[in-house]
Amino acid sequence: MWRQWVGAVVVASLVAPGASALQRKSKSGPVMEIEPEDHDFGGVQQNQKLVHEFTVKNTGTEDLEILRIATSCGCTAAVSADRIVKPGESTTLEVILETRKYKGVIQKSVSVASNDRQVVRTIRIHAFVEE
């Protein structure tokens, strides 16, 4: 009988830490996901204004607050429809790229800072400006 009791205690102590480790890995707090992570406009002309909407999702358990949006150059702008995203909800992030007098491949990025533990997510946009 004593051995059964000790065996039960050992099994319980092995299971309990595993369960709490799984709970810690769950998406607690705000968790930001942006889809897609990149967008290719393909072949475009000079002096165009290209627009693409990305989806910012909060897959966490607390409100996601978008703190700052930064672009890699002045030819790119990004605006979020909402600064606060409730758990399970999403908002749009509109990214605008002006091709101006560029020629060839354009690769730009947009960084989004939030109260997510990973803090900053970066998305990329691409285009090929034809002459």
Q: Domains plus CATH for the chain?
A: 32-129 (2.60.40.10)
Query: Residue ranges of the chain with pLDDT lower than 50?
Result: 2-25
Among 73, 54, 61, CA closest to 121: 54
pLDDT at 119: 74
Could you read off the pLDDT of 30-42 as tens digits, one per residue?
Answer: 999 999 999 999 9
CA distances from 30 to 49, 88, 114, 126 (A): 33, 10, 9, 29
pLDDT at 117: 86
Strand-pair category, 38-44 with 120-129: parallel
